Amino acid sequence: MEINDLLAPECARCVTPELSKKRALELISELAAECCPELPQHELFESLMAREKMGSTGFGKGIALPHGRLSRLTKPMAVMLKCDTPIDFDAIDEQPVDLLFALFVPEEEHQQYLAVLAKVAEKLSQKELVRALRRTEDNQQLFELVSQ
């Protein structure tokens, strides 16, 4: 499964206002609910918060991979945020986060979930890509960069 199979263009956003961790997760949930109207925003948000309670999904170098599993979801979907102002995200390296790639997967898809998460983490470990993502201020370009 490729990233452009998960991420719709309207779910990639460059965000200029300063956000808290909670507000960033709420925004991710709002965007996901717009792309998948059969899932209420509060369920999406609760799935992200439940995962964050187990430990931060900020994996370092300014990147976070918040993720949640939902029983009513039929296929994986994603939301990408690039924040102008980095967020205190309790990341493992204690650095603030400015790139968030959120993933929602069907609850029963354990293997697919791990494979997709690994693919996204590998992609976001590419230094040139991360630099380009941080430079962009355009939603469409953000989508194109992360999905190529």
Query: Would you name the residues annotated as active-site residues?
Result: 67
What residue type is 14 in one-letter code? C
Strand 63-64 relative to strand 97-106: parallel, antiparallel, unpaired? Answer: parallel
* d(C-alpha 8, C-alpha 74), whole Å: 16
CA torsion sign for 74, 69, 134, 120 is negative
